[in-house]
Structure formats: structure tokens, C-alpha cells
Structure 1
Amino acid sequence: MDIVARVLQSYGINAADAQVTPFGTGLINHTWKISAGGKSYILQKINDRVFTDPGAIDRNICSIAGYLRQHAPEYLFAAPVPTTDGRTLVNEASLDGGFYRLYPFINGSHSKDVVQDASQAFEAASQFGRFTRLLSGFDAGSLETTLPSFHDLSLRYGQFLDALEKGNVERIEASAELIAFMRLHAGIVSDFRSISVNPAFKKRVTHHDTKISNVLFNENNEAVCVIDLDTVMPGYFISDVGDMMRTYLPTVSEEEKDFSKIQVRDDVYKSIVVGYYAEMEDELSAEEVKYFFYAGKFMIYMQALRFLTDHLNNDVYYGAKYEGHNFVRAGNQAVLLQRLMEKAGSLNMQ
């Protein structure tokens, strides 16, 4: 019996009577759609090389699910399906099989890989805002950290400086212009350090991975719920808003080599603002509101730093599909940052 069949057996599902097909475009976890007994499910194998404590993820999600059942029962939250003996995480690590969990498949739903228009950005932003707002009474400090220092910009900048001292000398020399750009805008790091000690900035239940593919839409293209909760941890609102800006604003991805195609869509930006504020306006402090535009700078700059750092360190973290891959990605994000900063006046933000 293979590992997937063993896992399904834990849920009382006979693999021989089920249809098991790979599902989605995620790069971290392995995902399958399971159809059995007239029902459909999503089975995921957690990548425990990235998430070294799958139990922490499971405990976080179960705690949130319990809170929402009590305080927002009308909210659609795809909680894990328990096994026949009540577990929500199946551990097959002793057989080199890893960790698995099963979710209900939301019938009639679909996900998107790219934000095509402003209405989609609004729907997604409002869903992520609603998720955080509904959990405003939940003790964010009780959540376990699943990716330590994930959005710690001070740490990322320190890793960048370390790479300048110890990295590939040839790559450092060839990256001089991009390195200078990152140094020039190091004030973004200083702002983050100020935020991290400012009591006006509240640590909330934060998703930390707000790309459009982590929202489910119905047949009317209305967002119905957020998914992929592995990175849910205490965090600042700038993480969720910033990741939306980084991934929604341009029409091209971070893989685009033709930087002339990188533009910031004003209508999408404004839809992120309106959608998120629709849910979070009463939750954000006046000081936090002033940093809404900064959220985009924060996330784009950090991702550019991470790509450039990896390039200087010979691609040990992200890997590379071609020579200079992470250098291209870093340059792409640097241009996106520049395009966003050029819009500061026209978008009427700080």
C-alpha cells in the first residue's frame, strides 16, 4: 500500500474506490483532489523542509477554526477534516511519508493565478481584511511561529550585508548598480525598525501570503474564503497589504525579464485600499493608516533583497533555473519598487 492510500485509509477512504488527481499550481506543498463516496476533498502533504514543525501549523489552524466556529459561525472557513480517530494531521514521517491533512473541497469554487482586473483585487483584499477582522478578538500571541522571522526586514537586510562580505566576489562586482539601489533605499528598513517598536502598530492574526491564488472565488467571481493558512502567524498589517501590492499591482510576475513591461496599475492599487479598508478601517490605528502605501514598499523591497542576497550567495536558497535567475528576479522587484515610488503623489498616499 502506497503512502497516499495509507493516509486516505486514516480518513475511512478506500483509495481503490477514490479518484486521486494532482491539483493546483502551488510550489511548496504537494496537493491532490480526492473524489470518493460522492464527496470531494483536498489532500495536502506539508513540505517539512520548509515548515519544520507541521504540528505547529495544525495547532494554529485548529485554534483559529475553533474560535471562528464560536464567534463567526457564518464565515466560510475550510477547517481540516478529522481522521476516524479525531486527528487533523496524519504523520507518516516514520515511513518517509511526511505529514498530511485533508480539507473539504469547496464546490463551485475556483482560484486564480493572476489578478486580471481591479474587481478581483477588491474581492481578494476584502477577504483577507475580513479574515483578520473576524479574528481581532483572538489572542494572536497564542499562535505558534511556523516560519521564524519570515517578514523581518531587519534580518533580511542583515543577511544582505553579510552576503556583501562573504558572497561570490564576481557576482558582487557585477551587481554593483543593483546593490547601490538597495543601499540607497535602506530607509525602508529604518521605517520597519520604527514600526516594530511603535505601540500604535498592533500584531494581529496575519496571513502572510496574500497572493491571489490563496483566495477562492465562486461562479460569479466573488471571493468566498481564504486558503493556505500555513503562514498564519502574529504579524503587522503591512505584511498582508504589502504582499497584495507586490503581487497584484503589476501585470507581469517576478519572473519577467523585460523590465519595460513592469507597471503599477492605479485602479488595482485603489481597489486594494478600498477592499481592505471595507473590513479593517475600524481596526487600524491612525498611525497604521499613514503607512498603507509604505506596505507596498516594504514587501517589494524585502523580496528584492532576498533575491539579490541569494544571487550573491550562489543561489543556495531559491535555486536558479538559469544563470543569473535570482539577479533577474531582484532587478524585476527593484524596478517594481521604483515604479511604485513614482506613483506616491498620484495615489495620494504618504
Structure 2
Amino acid sequence: MDKILAGFGIKKSECSIKPFGSGLINHTWILSNADGDFILQKVNEHVFKKPEDIAWNIEFINAYLKEQAPSYFFVAPIKTVNGRSILFIEGAGYYRLFPFVKGSCSFNVVGNPDQAYEAARQFGLFTKVLSGIDVAQLRITLPSFHDLSLRYRQFLEALEYGNTKRIKEAALLIAELKSHATIADRFEVLKKDPAFKQRVTHHDTKISNVLFDKDNKGLCVIDLDTVMPGYFISDVGDMMRTYLCPVSEEESDFSKIEVRDDYYQAIMKGYLEEMNGELTAAEKGCFFYSGLFMIYMQALRFLTDHLNDDQYYGAKYAGHNFVRAQNQATLLKRLLEKEKVLS
């Protein structure tokens, strides 16, 4: 830690440092010294194979915002003593340092529709203020992250080469997910539609990636590791997947899974408040589809991993990913039941 902090011009003897947050991917600490509070984070190289690409994207976005939208609140990383935005130490990995936003807070679970609205507005605003950037210059930090076509092909491969016992036991769920293959087919169509634009997309729009002020108003979005070119359905769909239901993907009592109409309306209102003038008519027509897209993809990914003996997500108990897959399949069913009401 002495060498890491020295890379940012900080003496360990002059600060306190302790673990911070509940993130599952990167290791995060809060650091305090006479200059204030900071967030120190180690990038998970098992997930992000090229941390330099993340740093490049953030620098590119920061430079654009300084010139084109200087009033937008953007939490940029603090430079190392060598003027870089990410620090590499042989044998220790990649680290970056951010200022801690005073008076801010974040939530692990959406508490009410107002929070859903604020979060959706912040994610919409983030994409809107970057609408003029050359999105092709952004680097891909997680290849094929939200490629539903690929996830469906991986699902079919798991049916052919996966654990035969698990395939047999999951027959009903397999048939159910196959019956919704038109969701994947639609993604193939929209990818070829020039009305669907590649934009600066966050790709991880859970509520914990928004900072709020003391009045529960959104301040900004954070955790930009997955910012890449993408379609708006990724951001809206991920909000629907994680905000609409009162229980998480870990819930095994599927009777608790429901779609809350007021949260859906809050997401729509907040996102379109910023993005209404940016989205094409064809894109707006796929707002409801966004939820189907993301929930279906996650159901496929969980079931695929279960059939492949939990190689990707791992499992905390026997059948963990099978439960998660059933959970998401149930959420998909609940959302489809609301199509006439919400779309």
C-alpha cells in the first residue's frame, strides 16, 4: 500500500484507509488525509483484461466534457505523480484514485419511485451530454457484454455440450426460454436498423452507480468501467431489470416477484426527460422491449452457466444459478403480462 499511495503522491503514514462500499468486481477503499477524502480502487484484471482501455475512455470523456459541457458534474480520476489517470505496479495491479464527493450517498436497493426517476434521469443525462462525441473512439472494455445474439448461441451450445443431468432437470425452463427466442431475433433486426444508434452507453445502470445528495436528488453517475458504444436498450433494460421488482435476482421465493408499474413509469419519465429529443421514433417504440431484452439475456446467462457447471458466475449453493435463472424467467413473465398496460 505504501508504494501504491506514493504513486499518487500520498504518504501512508499521513492518512487512514479502510474498505469501502459493496461492489463485487473491484476492491475499493476510502482514504482520508489532511487534503480530504478519496476513493482508491483496484481494477479487477480477471474481468477487465485491459484496464488501460478503461482509463483511456474516462480521459477521452473527461476531455470532451471539459470542452463541450463544462457545467456537467463529472468525477474524474486524480492523476498519478507521473500525470497518468491509472497507476500500474508490477505484481500489484492497476489502481485509480477519485475525489470523494462530499455530501453524497448511494443506495444498494431502489427505495422508491423518486429514486428510480432520479437515477434514470442521470443515466439519460450522461448519454445526452456525450451525444456529440465520436463514439467510435471509445474502446471496448468488455467485448460482447450485451450481445443477446451471442448469449443465445452460448445457451444453445450449453444444451449440446453441457451437463446432461442438469439439462434433463431443467427441461421445463429450457423450453420456456426457447419459447421467447423472438426476443433475441428482434435484437438481430434492430442491430441492422439505421434508426438504432450506437451511443455512449453506461451498461451497468444499477442504483448503486448513481450518487445522490442529501435531498435524494441525483448528482451524477459513477463506475464508468463498462462505458462503451452501445444501444440505449442496455441502460434502460438494466434499470428495468434491477428497479422494477421489489426482490433481487437472488430471491428463491418466486411468488415475491412482481413488476411495479410506478417504478416503470418513473424510469420512463426520468430517462425520456433527458433523452426524448435524442431517441428516434423507432428507438422510442422499443422502450418496453428494453426490459425484455435485458431480463431475457440474464435468464439465458444464468441458465447457461448452470448447464456448464457454474464456470462463470460460480455458485454459493447447489443449483444457485438455476434458481437465478428461474427468478429472471419469472420476472420476464411478469413483465410480459404488463405489456398492454405499460407499452
TM-score (norm 2): 0.99
Letter in 1 for 2:194: P
Partner of 1:291: 286
In 2, Cα distance between equivalents of 1:207 and 1:238: 11
- Does residue 29 (structure 1) correspond to residue 26 (structure 2)? The answer is yes
- Does residue 182 (structure 1) correspond to residue 190 (structure 2)? The answer is no
List per-residue Cα deviations over 1:13-43 (Å, max 9, x = no partner).
1011111010000000000001011311100
- Does residue 301 (structure 1) correspond to residue 296 (structure 2)? The answer is yes
Find the partner of 2:330 among 328, 335, 339: 335
The structural deviation recorded for 1:116 is 1.1
What stretches of structure 1 of length at least 5 have no aligned partner? none
Identity of aligned residues (%): 60
- Does residue 84 (structure 1) correspond to residue 85 (structure 2)? The answer is no
Find the partner of 2:5 among 3, 8, 26: 8
Letter in 1 for 2:81: T
List per-residue Cα deviations over 1:43-91 (Å, max 9, x = no partner).
0000001000000000000000110111111111000100122111100
Query: What is the root-mean-square deviation of aligned Cα atoms in Å?
Result: 0.6
The structural deviation recorded for 1:179 is 0.2
In 1, Cα distance between equivalents of 2:67 and 2:17: 33
Find the partner of 2:43 among 46, 60, 71: 46
In 1, Cα distance between equivalents of 2:38 and 2:199: 30
List per-residue Cα deviations over 1:271-300 (Å, max 9, x = no partner).
000000000000000000000000000000
List per-residue Cα deviations over 1:195-229 (Å, max 9, x = no partner).
11100000000000000000000000001000000
- Does residue 252 (structure 1) correspond to residue 254 (structure 2)? The answer is no
Superposed, 1:125-144 pairs within 5 Å as 125-144=120-139
List per-residue Cα deviations over 1:294-348 (Å, max 9, x = no partner).
000000000000000000000000000000000000000000000001011111x
List per-residue Cα deviations over 1:234-267 (Å, max 9, x = no partner).
0000000000000000010000000000011100
- Does residue 97 (structure 1) correspond to residue 92 (structure 2)? The answer is yes
Following TM superposition, the consecutive aligned residue runs of length 4 or more in structure 1 with deviations greater than 3 angstroms are none
In 1, Cα distance between equivalents of 2:281 and 2:100: 39
Letter in 2 for 1:37: A
3-state SS, counterpart of residue 224 of structure 1: strand
Letter in 2 for 1:231: T
List per-residue Cα deviations over 1:105-162 (Å, max 9, x = no partner).
0000010001111000000000000000000000111100000000000000000000
Letter in 2 for 1:20: I
3-state SS, counterpart of residue 346 of structure 1: helix
- Does residue 75 (structure 1) correspond to residue 72 (structure 2)? The answer is yes
In 1, Cα distance between equivalents of 2:93 and 2:80: 16
Partner of 1:168: 163
3-state SS, counterpart of residue 345 of structure 1: helix
In 1, Cα distance between equivalents of 2:253 and 2:193: 39
Number of residues paired by the alignment?
Answer: 343
Letter in 2 for 1:212: I
Letter in 2 for 1:82: K
Letter in 2 for 1:49: H
Letter in 1 for 2:315: A
In 1, Cα distance between equivalents of 2:177 and 2:308: 16
Partner of 1:228: 223
3-state SS, counterpart of residue 37 of structure 2: strand
In 2, Cα distance between equivalents of 1:225 and 1:142: 23
In 2, Cα distance between equivalents of 1:225 and 1:158: 36
Find the partner of 2:212 among 217, 223, 227: 217
In 2, Cα distance between equivalents of 1:251 and 1:106: 29
List per-residue Cα deviations over 1:179-202 (Å, max 9, x = no partner).
001100000000000011100000
In 2, Cα distance between equivalents of 1:340 and 1:52: 35
Letter in 1 for 2:311: V
TM-score (norm 1): 0.97
In 1, Cα distance between equivalents of 2:35 and 2:224: 26
In 2, Cα distance between equivalents of 1:316 and 1:85: 39
- Does residue 118 (structure 1) correspond to residue 113 (structure 2)? The answer is yes
